[in-house]
């Protein structure tokens, strides 16, 4: 490039870089320092070293939240990916071969549109909606059917054993459609003649799925796993809007994001909330690095 490159480059970068540094980089940098102080908002906080972190590791609520993230981290990706894979397979190659072509089942276009729909609805709004779905008496959508069947109504959100799984169900309900479309896109990239050849060799539907589709989708699956895993470390909006006492009953659905919010904006424990933020950051980074390491394998050349 020639004359006048630098004024142009600087002119184009000035605004985005400034906004980004002020609102993203600076707060991130400050968070690490703030986590080492006992700042409560009024007087300037004192530097207390790692005291917040030692308190954090004795904090029962924090461990509870951590356990919930562990459950979410296993359940959310696993359930979502299995359901989405099955649905996507049915949509794309489930219709058997018609005229020598692998085809999706009838109505697959309609299904794809419907499945994806929850993705465009705000999770905070869905949280409010599902309060009525889960209501513990006959006025709740599910329990109305349960009591019609002559069974005891289920306390989805008020039973500490069930509450977290009720949250997982909403997240799966919302998320599956996105991954159906994602996997469909991946599956449509698989050359049809591979399926044809497999059919001619007498491969059954299931062996076709495990020997052809899965290996060729590996990269997409990896992306899905990381996405869902990172989502499992958040969940603030749904917990805040759907659960009893925002993380209850008795802290049985709380997540770190919820506790950060509570400590910062309810108790004004800014130093402590930042320390939680730092802990969450290291958890997320560790997860992403690990999952990318573990799932790295020879991708199949097409």
Partner 1 sequence: MAIDTATPAPVSSATPSPEKKTRREINILAGFGHLFLAVWALLIIAPLVWTFLASFKDNEEIFGDAWTLPATLRFDNWARAWTEANVGQYFLNSVFVVSLSTAGTMLLGAMAAYVLARYTFFGNRIIYYLFVSGLAFPVFLALVPLFFVVRNLGLLNSYVGLILVYIAYSLPFTVFFLAAFFKSLPNSVAEAAIMDGASHTRLFFQVMMPMARSGLISITIFNVIGQWNQYLLPLALLQGEGAEEKWVLTQGIANISTTAGFHADWGGLFAALTMAILPMIVIYAIFQRQIQSGLTSGAVK
Q: Quickly list DSSP for 169-194.
A: HHHHHHHHHHHHHHHHHHHHTS-HHH
CB of 24 to partner 1, least distance (A): 5
Q: What are phi and psi of 37, to 5 degrees?
A: -120, 165
CB of 138 to partner 1, least distance (A): 6
Cβ neighbour number for residue 203 with a 10 Å cutoff = 16
Structure tokens at 272: 């402590």
Q: Quickly list DSSP for 74-135.
A: HHHHHHHHHHHHHHHHHHHHTT-EETTEE-PPTTHHHHHHHHHGGGGS-HHHHHHHHHHHS-
**Which residue(s) pair with 97 in the sheet?**
102
CB of 241 to partner 1, least distance (A): 5
Structure tokens at 138: 């006959």
Q: Which is nearer to partner 1, 20 or 57 (CB)?
A: 20
CB of 184 to partner 1, least distance (A): 6
CB of 14 to partner 1, least distance (A): 9
CB of 71 to partner 1, least distance (A): 19
Q: Which is nearer to partner 1, 75 or 183 (CB)?
A: 183
Residue 195 near residue 211 (C-beta atoms within 8 A): no
**Which residue(s) pair with 37 in the sheet?**
47
Q: Which is nearer to partner 1, 54 or 107 (CB)?
A: 107
Contacts of range 52-56, beta carbons closer than 8 Å, 24 or more positions apart = 52/271, 52/272, 52/274, 52/275, 53/275, 53/279, 55/272, 55/275, 56/272, 56/275, 56/276, 56/279
Please choose, from the candidates 56, 51, 57, the residue with its C-alpha nearest in 3D space to the C-alpha of residue 38.
51
Cα-based torsion angle of the residue sequence 225, 229, 230, 234 in order, rounded to the nearest 10 degrees: 150
Q: Which is nearer to partner 1, 136 or 251 (CB)?
A: 136
Q: Which is nearer to partner 1, 240 or 252 (CB)?
A: 240
CB of 186 to partner 1, least distance (A): 7
**Which residue(s) pair with 98 in the sheet?**
101
Q: Which is nearer to partner 1, 93 or 164 (CB)?
A: 93
**Which residue(s) pair with 101 in the sheet?**
98
CB of 244 to partner 1, least distance (A): 12
Q: Which is nearer to partner 1, 133 or 164 (CB)?
A: 133
The Cα–Cα gap between 18 and 16 comes to 6
Q: Which is nearer to partner 1, 68 or 112 (CB)?
A: 112
């Amino acid at each position: 490039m020639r004359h006048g490159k630098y004024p142009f480059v600087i002119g184009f970068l000035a605004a985005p870089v400034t906004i980004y540094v002020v609102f993203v980089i600076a707060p991130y940098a400050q968070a690490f320092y703030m986590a080492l102080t006992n700042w409560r908002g009024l007087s300037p906080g004192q530097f207390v070293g790692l005291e917040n972190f030692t308190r954090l590791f004795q904090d029962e609520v924090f461990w509870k939240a951590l356990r919930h993230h562990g459950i979410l981290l296993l359940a959310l990706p696993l359930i979502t990916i299995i359901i989405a894979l099955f649905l996507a397979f049915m949509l794309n190659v489930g219709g058997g071969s018609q005229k020598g072509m692998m085809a999706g089942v009838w109505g697959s276009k309609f299904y794809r549109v419907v499945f994806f729909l929850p993705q465009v609805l705000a999770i905070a709004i869905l949280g409010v909606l599902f309060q009525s779905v889960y209501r513990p008496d006959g006025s709740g959508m599910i329990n109305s059917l349960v009591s019609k069947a002559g069974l005891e109504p289920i306390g989805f959100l008020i039973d500490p054993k069930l509450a977290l799984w009720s949250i997982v169900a909403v997240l799966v309900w919302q998320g599956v459609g996105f991954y159906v479309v994602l996997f469909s896109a991946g599956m449509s990239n698989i050359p049809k003649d591979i399926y044809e050849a497999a059919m001619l060799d007498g491969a059954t539907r299931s062996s076709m799925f495990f020997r052809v589709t899965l290996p060729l989708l590996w990269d997409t699956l990896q992306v899905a796993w990381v996405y869902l895993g990172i989502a499992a470390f958040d969940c603030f909006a749904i917990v805040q809007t759907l659960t009893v006492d925002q993380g209850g009953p008795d802290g049985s659905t709380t997540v770190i994001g919820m506790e950060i919010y509570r400590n910062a904006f309810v108790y004004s424990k800014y130093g402590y909330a930042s320390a939680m933020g730092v802990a969450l950051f290291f958890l997320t980074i560790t997860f992403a690095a690990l999952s990318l390491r573990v799932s790295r394998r020879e991708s199949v050349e097409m």
